[in-house]
Amino acid sequence: MTALRILLPVLATASALGVDMLEKGWRTASGIATLAFLLGTVTTEIIASRRAKTAKLALESQRAEYLVTSFAAFGPLSNHMSLMAAAQTSRRRELAGPSLYAAAVAARSLVPVDGVRAALFYRTVEDGKDVFLPHPVYWVGRGDRAQSRFVRGEGEGIDVWNAADQGSQSFYPDIADERPPNMDMNRPRTYAGFATVPILAGDECVGLATINTLEPNQLTSEDVGTLWVIAALSGAILGMVGCKWPGV
């Protein structure tokens, strides 16, 4: 009975969060990882000590911390998206810019280490070739702007476009240890680890959400899960303005 009394609130939380994520159409990697962490913590506590009260308090503290962090990060983004949804079509494009910037801010704020940069890349065509370019406005973090450009079928763009076309992520927390096959290690760069996920509007990849760190192994799978959420919301924002990036 002790185990059930502790586990049932967690399962209820998992159900509520799961329904919420499904209703919003989010990628659920971040939610799944968080819930798995909560369940694992409770289970370990039960086995180790059987102290139900201690385990329950620990669980409530973790849940509260997660909810506070999530609200602080996603609150402004949610407000911007609500304004967009209620606005006339002619005004939505004006509101899309602040909403996308709020998405970049949310991505940066959920990785609690120094030297992080979050950036959104937009898809365009140059000289008849598909290319992802860093947006000149929608980036947040350390002072150096993103410099990479990813041309389909060329150099580093081969790996990036392959992942984008498959709707999959790229996650390399330490590029000195493991990196994409076509990454040019002779090119100067300021980051030691990165994650990239596609921004999808419907079935079309219209950009990338990226985050990188100065030091290796500072990004976790939970951070990548959060980045999926940011990318999904960015795609929803762009979908409301005909997939046209503001400011470019």
Average pLDDT value for residue range 229-243: 95
pLDDT at 10: 45
The pTM score is 0.72
pLDDT band, very low/low/confident/very high, at 203 (cuts 50, 70, 90): confident
The tens digit of pLDDT for each residue in 54-105 reads: 555 555 555 555 545 555 678 888 888 999 999 998 899 999 999 999 999 9
> pLDDT tens for residues 155-169?
999 999 999 999 999
Q: Which of 51, 69, 37 is nearest to 6 (CA)?
A: 51
Q: Which residues contact 136 (CB under 8 A, 6 or more apart)?
A: 145, 247, 248
Strand-pairing partners, residue 207, are: 122, 199
pLDDT in tens, 162-198: 999 999 999 999 999 999 999 998 888 889 999 999 9
